[in-house]
Amino acid sequence: MSDDIRTRVRAMMPAARGELAELVALRSVADPRQFPPEECAKAAEWVRERFAELGFGDARLERTPDGSDAVIGSRRATDPDAPTVLLYAHYDVQPPLEESAWRTPPFVLTDIDGRWAGRGAADCKGNILMHLLALRALQGEIPVHLKLVVEGSEEQGTGGLERYVAANPDVLAADVILVCDTGNAAVGRPAATVSLRGFANVVVRVETLASEIHSGMFGGPAPDALAALVEVLASLRDDAGSTTIDGLPHDGTWTGEPYDAGQFRTDAGVLDGVRLLGDGTVADELWARPALTVLGIDCPPVVGSSASIVPRAAARLNLRIPPGVRSEDAHDALVAHLRDHAPWGVRVDVETEAVGEPFRAATDGPAYRRFADAMHAAYGIDMTLLGQGGSIPLCNVFADTYPGAEIILMGVEEPLALIHAPNESVDPSEIQNLAIAEAAFLRSFGTAR
């Protein structure tokens, strides 16, 4: 890699911070119940304009089947036989949750301890800026055909882009797809993600009585819906904390990069004295085994509750599913388990919200080798291979629609970024180094023939 790329990216970082501040200020949560849809529209247009300035002359907003807009465009290389690389990111963000838990305003990019804090600073607006810096660093000398898609509903999981790709396969067809929505092992430790867990989201509802009744007059023989729900939820883990769903294996092992338990405790903010869950290694539990999380419970709050027996209660559950297990099978096992473990003959209803398949990337192609070289050049150390406990259903759609394409997952979202949580932030060195690596890869891959 010539030093010109590194020099140019470094010189652009102050301006990049200003651009990221503009983008973070747009409250692009793709849920009109929480934020105005105009915020997503402004973010989409911001992205479209920036890439149009870089030669994506046909950059446009495409309405997807879930009602969200994806920014789509293309840029041709001089050589008609050049390979095609698709750049992916998303401009929608998670809601900020409790704003009181933030050290700084969630939609104001703020410098804290050398990091840039704000909702979406890492996930995934930081990756949008990384793409822009990489392309600007090449100053128009890009020897590959480029395609672009920046979607607007990834965090909601409503599948707009997935269905768009299936219905319009020619639009985003490419030889290499850079899915920029994951991250490194740590700041300064480059990695590509090769494994994603699938997921199944369900809501389980328990009902026992026609209405609330006095706990003194009826407590004892009258069945408590909240207690029944607690018993059902408790059956989903064993004493070690491993997820235990009837018929679902939970003994997988991870053979890639390990994850030090002490580092994980720090990254996850685990309190002193609280044990990590499961009987496997941290990497086993994160990337090779199922994991059940209770996302929320509907029941009377402590403040305002009365001395009454609860007649109905509900919980929203998220099951993460490792590669090698079909999501449909895991979902069906979860639903059967919830019904089978409900006590006292209570009424149980299970509503399925969404299901997504796991993903495993191939790593033996020429693009992966070139990308690993570019990461080493940018960071000065070898790139490692990671799993990720999260899910990106679009990867499976890409793999099914474009079976010949190499899919490379990377991004700026290392553990300290606290994505999806209060106080999300990005280390600007990750934006800088990933931009250098991406620019070096595009130059190298385009001239390798």
* Residues with a known catalytic role: 92, 154
HEC profile for the chain? CCHHHHHHHHHHHHHHHHHHHHHHCCCCCCCCCCCCHHHHHHHHHHHHHHHHCCCCCCCEEEECCCCCEEEEEEECCCCCCCCEEEEEEECCCCCCCCHHHCCCCCCCCEEECCEEECCCCCCCHHHHHHHHHHHHHCCCCCCCEEEEEEECCCCCCCCHHHHHHHHCCCCCCCCEEEEECCCCCECCECEEEEEECEEEEEEEEEECCCCCEEHHHHECCECCHHHHHHHHHHCCECCCCCECCCCCCCCCCCCCCCCCHHHHHHHHCCCCCCCCCCCCCHHHHHHCCCEEEEEEEECCCCCCCCCEECCEEEEEEEEEECCCCCHHHHHHHHHHHHHHCCCCCCEEEEEEEEEECCEECCCCCHHHHHHHHHHHHHHCCCCEEEEECCCCHHHHHHHHHCCCCEEEEECCCCHHHCCCCCCCEECHHHHHHHHHHHHHHHHHHHCCC
What is the spatial distance between Cα 229 and Cα 205, in angstroms, rounded to a whole number?
8
